Amino acid sequence: ELKVEQNPLFLSMQEGKNYTIYCNYSTTSDRLYWYRQDPGKSLESLFVLLSNGAVKQEGRLMASLDTKARLSTLHITAAVHDLSATYFCAVDRDSGGSNYKLTFGKGTLLTVNP
């Protein structure tokens, strides 16, 4: 059974600081997703990582994937208050197939303080 672990689960940051959220998963997969969820809202797709070594950046967020280590990171650069949200990683348990069944981590609640 695929297990996805995120850490930390809670993260309180000062504006302007950098930090990394980690996502470990237990079985082979070549598809990893990062989502953002604001309170009371649905999930917003941030990144889809489809191969070993994939790196994607959007604004102050950068995501990477190491399939050998079964590890993805979401790096936050110079945090701003607007980044406060819950961030989920999700792994496709079907690895290269066409079923796209996602197993989610527990989420990281990020609070950026002025």
Partner 1 sequence: SAVISQKPSRDICQRGTSLTIQCQVDSQVTMMFWYRQQPGQSLTLIATANQGSEATYESGFVIDKFPISRPNLTFSTLTVSNMSPEDSSIYLCSVEDSRASQHFGDGTRLSIL
Q: Identify whether the C-beta of residue 19 lies closer than 8 Å to the C-beta of residue 70.
A: no
Please say which residue, 64 or 86, places its beta carbon nearer to partner 1.
86
State how beta strands 10-14 and 108-113 pair: parallel
Count interface residues toward partner 1 (CB under 8 A).
20
State the DSSP code for 83: G
Q: Identify whether the C-beta of residue 63 lies closer than 8 Å to the C-beta of residue 77.
A: no
| Among 11, 25, 33, 54, interactor with partner 1 by CB under 8 A | 33
Retrieve residue 60's tokens: 């102050």
CB of 114 to partner 1, least distance (A): 25
Please say which residue, 48 or 80, places its beta carbon nearer to partner 1.
48
CB of 112 to partner 1, least distance (A): 20
Residues of this chain that bind partner 1 (CB under 8 A): 31, 33, 35, 41-43, 45, 48, 50, 88, 90, 99-107
